[in-house]
Amino acid sequence: MLKNIPPILSPEMLKVLCEMGHGDRLVIADANFPAASIGKNAIVLRADGHGAVEILEAILTLLPLDKYVEHAVTLMQVTPGDSVETPIWEEYKAKISQFDERGANTVCEAERHTFYDLSRNAYAIIATGEKKLYANIILQKGVLS
């Protein structure tokens, strides 16, 4: 038993977070994301029944964001013509602001297929049970200071 580890993070998730190095990317995927097919060359972890915001918050308590890049966080851009609202993005930005002084300034958006390409090169993908649309987010790991 360890102290101060968010209980939502499984031992396997903790192992993966420890293995990641500076610049490695971690995808937190919503329930619609094709994690198994996109993650063929990555570690795919399941977090069914958990929301993406709670997983993000738990991860940010342990994982520093990359300070050497302008945008250490990437969201999947809404496809043109899709009228979906993305209120979860504001929740993400609020959580990021709690852990990184750059706050929303470190967040960017990538077109859906570009996001998929970035995800194919991620170290790991956490497939959550998040039902909100366009709730996919990529974090780029930084260094401990």
Active-site residue, 117 included: no
Q: Which of the following is catalytic: 24, 30, 66, 100? A: 66
Cα dihedral 50→56→60→61 (10° resolution): -30
Q: Which of the following is catalytic: 22, 68, 82, 113? A: 22
Cβ(67)–Cβ(75) below 8 Å: no
What 3-state DSSP class applies to 58? helix
Active-site residue, 92 included: no
Q: What is the DSSP string of 5-56?
A: --TTS-HHHHHHHHH--TT-EEEEE-TTS-HHHHTTTSEEEEETT--HHHHH
Name the nearest CA neighbour of 25 among 61, 51, 63, 57.
Answer: 63
The C-alpha atoms of residue 19 and residue 76 are separated, in whole angstroms, by 25
Active-site residue, 66 included: yes
Residues with catalytic function? 22, 66, 116
